[in-house]
């Protein structure tokens, strides 16, 4: 049975509806033809030139990313810009590119839910509920607050995060013996949610892309931060999405292979 791009789009949009995206975001089919027949699929965090080359090598004509290539709309498409090079390379090689970003963060069993579950928690509160008065959609939104049944010290929590997510190094602020009873988690860049998390009573915030002054001020207010990095907060859960997609495609009667990118890596290195 042949799987078309539009059918793969329907699968993703049933999981992470486009209406759940943030207003500033751009999601959906970035480059491609909805009528194309899908061969193999590549799941990555970003559409880098290395990921495009990997798609070519693995004969994947559909790339699913979390971060949208067309987040900033181009004024032109030429090989003089990195974005233009990528778009041209995708089109020349008949590769479709689809992105599921803040809608995938917010949805039920999306990236926010998945990172909470990875850390072993099964109950949470939404920080920014997209439908607070709706029926059946009361678990949609960005950010998660978790009340810990068993409080941990900050040091214990840092070690738990490192072990669970396979992270060798992370940044944190706060006293190592600080007892954490309420935890906030925001995958990706969490600066915009730091004070909302504090106002909701969080003792510690796990996220990525925090900056000095936020960390400094919150430390004075006795709120700890564990900055695990933007990539590290999303790639483990994006791989779970890739495995889910493989199972969903098989359940629907298709045999297309979903490949988890080996070229999806953090741009940061540590010594």
Q: Looking at residue 49, which CATH number applies to its domain?
A: 3.40.1390.30
Could you tell me if 131 and 41 lie in one domain?
A: no
Where does the pLDDT of residue 133 fall: very low under 50, low under 70, confident under 90, or very high at 90 and above?
A: low
Tell me if 271 is assigned to some domain: no
Could you tell me if 85 and 157 lie in one domain?
A: no
Could you tell me if 224 and 112 lie in one domain?
A: yes
Where does the pLDDT of residue 136 fall: very low under 50, low under 70, confident under 90, or very high at 90 and above?
A: low
Where does the pLDDT of residue 123 fall: very low under 50, low under 70, confident under 90, or very high at 90 and above?
A: very high
User: Over 90: is that where the pLDDT of 83 sits?
Assistant: yes
Could you tell me if 173 and 198 lie in one domain?
A: yes
Tell me if 217 is assigned to some domain: yes
Tell me if 211 is assigned to some domain: yes
Residue 214: HSE in the Cβ half-sphere, 13 Å Cα cutoff: 20
Distances (CA, A) of 121 to 5, 6, 27, 91: 35, 35, 29, 42
Could you tell me if 134 and 29 lie in one domain?
A: no
Is this model's pTM higher than 0.85 or not?
yes
For residue 129, how far is the Cα from the chain centroid?
18
Could you tell me if 25 and 52 lie in one domain?
A: yes
Distances (CA, A) of 103 to 67, 127, 136, 256, 260: 11, 15, 17, 24, 20
| Dist. CA 8–CA 76, nearest whole Å | 28
Whole-number percent of the chain with pLDDT over 70: 97
User: DSSP secondary-structure letter at 218?
Assistant: H
Could you tell me if 220 and 150 lie in one domain?
A: yes
User: Over 90: is that where the pLDDT of 225 sits?
Assistant: yes
Could you tell me if 54 and 133 lie in one domain?
A: no
Could you tell me if 82 and 126 lie in one domain?
A: no
pLDDT of residue 134: 57
| Dist. CA 24–CA 261, nearest whole Å | 27
Could you tell me if 92 and 127 lie in one domain?
A: no
3-state secondary structure (DSSP) of residue 31: strand
Say which residues have a Cβ less than 8 Å from residue 199's Cβ, sequence separation at least 6: none
Could you tell me if 98 and 113 lie in one domain?
A: no
For residue 33, how far is the Cα from the chain centroid?
25
Average pLDDT over residues 266-270: 92
Tell me if 196 is assigned to some domain: yes
Strands (E), 116-194: 125-129, 141-153, 171-173, 179-189
pLDDT of residue 131: 72
Tell me if 59 is assigned to some domain: yes
Tell me if 157 is assigned to some domain: yes
Tell me if 269 is assigned to some domain: no
Average pLDDT over residues 94-116: 97
pLDDT digits (tens, 9 = 90+) for 40-57: 999 999 999 999 999 999
Structure tokens at 220: 């004075």
Distance between first and last Cα of the chain: 49
Tell me if 174 is assigned to some domain: yes
Could you tell me if 18 and 125 lie in one domain?
A: no
Q: Residue 221: which domain range?
A: 108-228
Average pLDDT over residues 31-38: 98
Where does the pLDDT of residue 235 fall: very low under 50, low under 70, confident under 90, or very high at 90 and above?
A: very high
Where does the pLDDT of residue 138 fall: very low under 50, low under 70, confident under 90, or very high at 90 and above?
A: low
pLDDT digits (tens, 9 = 90+) for 206-220: 999 999 999 999 999
Split into its structural domains, the chain has a count of: 2
pLDDT of residue 130: 80
User: Over 80: is that where the pLDDT of 132 sits?
Assistant: no
pLDDT digits (tens, 9 = 90+) for 156-200: 999 999 999 999 999 999 999 999 999 999 999 999 999 999 999
Where does the pLDDT of residue 1 fall: very low under 50, low under 70, confident under 90, or very high at 90 and above?
A: confident
């Amino acid at each position: 049975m042949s799987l078309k791009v539009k059918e793969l789009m329907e699968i993703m949009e049933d999981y992470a509806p486009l209406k759940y995206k943030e207003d500033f975001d751009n999601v959906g089919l970035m480059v491609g033809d909805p009528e194309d027949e899908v061969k193999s699929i590549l799941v990555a965090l970003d559409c880098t030139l290395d990921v495009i080359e990997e798609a070519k090598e693995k004969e994947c004509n559909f790339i699913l990313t979390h971060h949208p290539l067309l987040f900033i709309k181009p004024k032109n498409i030429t090989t003089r810009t990195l974005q233009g090079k990528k778009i041209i390379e995708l089109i020349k090689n008949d590769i479709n590119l689809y992105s599921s970003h803040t809608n995938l963060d917010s949805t039920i069993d999306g990236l926010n839910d998945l990172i909470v579950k990875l850390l072993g928690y099964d109950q949470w509160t939404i920080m920014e509920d997209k439908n607070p008065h709706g029926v059946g959609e009361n678990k949609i939104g960005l950010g998660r607050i978790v009340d810990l049944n068993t409080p941990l010290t900050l040091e214990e929590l840092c070690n738990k995060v490192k072990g669970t997510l396979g992270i060798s190094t992370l940044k944190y602020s706060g006293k190592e013996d600080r007892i954490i009873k309420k935890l906030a988690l925001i995958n990706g860049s969490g600066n915009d949610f730091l004070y909302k998390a504090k106002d909701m009573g969080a003792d510690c915030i796990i996220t990525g892309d925090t900056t000095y002054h936020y960390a400094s001020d919150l430390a004075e207010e006795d709120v700890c931060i564990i900055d695990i990095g933007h990539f590290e907060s999303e790639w483990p859960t994006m791989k779970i999405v890739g495995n889910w997609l493989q199972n969903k495609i098989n359940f629907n009667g298709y045999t297309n292979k979903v490949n988890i990118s080996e070229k999806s890596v953090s741009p940061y290195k540590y010594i």
